[in-house]
Amino acid sequence: MGTRESHHGDDMEKLARVLQGMIGFGNSRVRLQYMVDQIAALLGAALVGIWMEEKTDLIPVAVGGRAADYGRALVFSTREDAPGGQGPSGRAFRERRTVLYDPLRESDNQWQELRERYVLGTSLAVPLVYEHQVFGIIGLYVTRGKSIQPRMRHMMEILAPVLSMMIKDQRDRMLLEERSKGLSTLISAIQVLGRVQSEEELMTEFGDIAIQVLGANGGYIILYDKEKRPSLKMFGLLTGYEGELAPLLMRLMRVNPPRGDWLSEPFNYRQRRGRYRDILAQLQFRSGISGQLRVDGELAGVFTLWSYEPDFFNNKQYVLRALAEEVSTALELLRVRHRLIAGAQTDPLTGLANRTGLQEKFDELVAEGRRYTWPFLFVLLDLDHFKQINDTQGHPEGDRLLRVVADHLRRAVRPFDVASRLGGDEFALLLARCSPQTEGIQKRLAALLGELSRAFEGLGVSAGVAAFPEDGDEFRELYRAADQRLYEAKRRGRGRIAWPDDVFQPL
């Protein structure tokens, strides 16, 4: 066996021992440091180092040999147009090939002073490539006056793919751990989503998770109801811009509605004209990501998150997709729950609140009244001569009449009042923040019921009014008081309103 073959066999055996020794180190940085120290000693090199890609730079992660201080100071660029990217390391990274550099034969760069201090000569850079992905480079420097022998280059080129595979495996495990950690944190945070009681509360919780768990600096969420009417919530640093940005975002969603997958690709901020872009620049946002919320396969909402940091969301897509799916599920359950509650509290013929719905609103007004000392009125209505109309013209006509009366009452009451059908031809109104002494209330109620009486030939209306808190603070108490006054109004000739204190108001 020749001397060259003998050296090659010895080198491979020593290299195998180095790689075997790396297995004993659990920490990846310690493992890489052990390797470069051993390779520097094995090859008699002044410096062996590993530089990994970080954005547009190659930064040192492990350096060994007597010139290690020099290696720790080196930061190369991956860009050809940058000064630190024109040497062997930048070229090896871009061209994905081994590059040999001899400072005596080529014009030197900004590292000349450090080279002189450590008396360094020729250097070699080998790219770290695995599955067509380049991670960085491994470099070797020898003392001036020495040359990089073929066996050195051969060993570095054997070592590079093994090292690349190890780095790829380590990155995959770190990504998996990061995803697992992110999902674990997310799972703890999203448990609250199943307990929200309104869509407004759901949007607030989404914003809290985006800021506190995912680390976004700002964003917004838009939810669409079944008529595609939007509601908007901003959070983080965008809080307070609702009035200014809401019209812009709503118009943007109409002109360019979201399509495609749950998530967009992460994107970095690009300066463009427009007030929205001006605000993003003012807040110094650098990267963002957008996503969709879906219910029953239909678009139910959209969101966008922003960060100060470029590329912030690049490794968060997995967690964000999980969050989007969980929020969509919570929204679907919330809407199903509301439909069930609405169905249980709604009169099927007229669409008004039924007795259950009226009772719930009554309880809310009592709680509000106790807290703020606000009164309210309970008005019980009965359609005079309805039975005669039902008997002579038929039940379909009677049902139509009830629906028309319901529409009339629905349009007449304020948003915070309630109109209800209790059954048959009996209706009820809850008039919030009113008392019998409220200015204009008697005229307003008389006008409303008078219009009903005049709208249908042969139909009259009688009413009894009870007041909170004078007539009680329980549903049955106010219902009984209003019912007794309604009876008295009918007894006195129908077509009138019976108020507390025996006040009877003809229509």
**pLDDT tens digits, 373-405:** 999 999 999 998 888 888 888 888 889 889 989
Q: Among 344, 363, 386, which residue terminates a domain?
A: 344
Q: Could you tell me the residue range of the domain that residue 414 belongs to? A: 355-506
pLDDT of residue 303: 93
- In angstroms, the CA 44 to CA 142 distance is 8
Same domain, 295 and 331: yes
Same domain, 361 and 320: no
**pLDDT tens digits, 183-204:** 566 666 777 887 888 899 999 9
Domains identified in the chain, total number = 3
Same domain, 112 and 225: no
**pLDDT tens digits, 239-279:** 888 788 878 777 776 656 666 666 777 777 665 556 677 77
**pLDDT tens digits, 10-49:** 767 777 777 776 665 556 778 889 889 999 998 889 999 9
For residue 191, being part of any structural domain is answered with: no
Same domain, 234 and 325: yes
pLDDT, mean over the chain:
84
Q: Among 317, 344, 371, which residue terminates a domain?
A: 344
> Three-state SS for 86?
coil
For residue 184, being part of any structural domain is answered with: no
Count Cβ atoms within 10 A of the Cβ of residue 5 and give its class: 0-12 exposed, 13-18 middle, 19 or more buried.
exposed
Q: With a cut of 50, say whether residue 1 has pLDDT above it.
A: no
Identify the CATH number of the domain in which residue 423 sits. 3.30.70.270
Same domain, 162 and 283: no
For residue 386, being part of any structural domain is answered with: yes
Residue partners of 484: CB distance under 8 A and separation at least 6: 464
For residue 190, being part of any structural domain is answered with: no
- In angstroms, the CA 449 to CA 413 distance is 12
Identify the CATH number of the domain in which residue 232 sits. 3.30.450.40
Same domain, 22 and 165: yes
Angle, helices 386-393/395-412, rounded to nearest 10 degrees:
140
Handedness of CA 411, 413, 415, 420 (dihedral sign): negative
For residue 394, being part of any structural domain is answered with: yes
**pLDDT tens digits, 398-408:** 898 899 899 99
For residue 186, being part of any structural domain is answered with: no
- In angstroms, the CA 103 to CA 122 distance is 6
Judge contact between 40 and 14, C-beta under 8 A.
no
- Please give the DSSP secondary-structure letter assigned to residue 87: S
Kindly list the distances between the CA atom of residue 408 and the CA atoms of 131, 222, 423, in Å, as whole numbers in the listed order. 72, 33, 17
- In angstroms, the CA 153 to CA 124 distance is 8
Could you give the dihedral angle defined by the CA atoms of residues 481, 484, 490 and 493, in that order, rounded to the nearest 10 degrees? Answer: -90
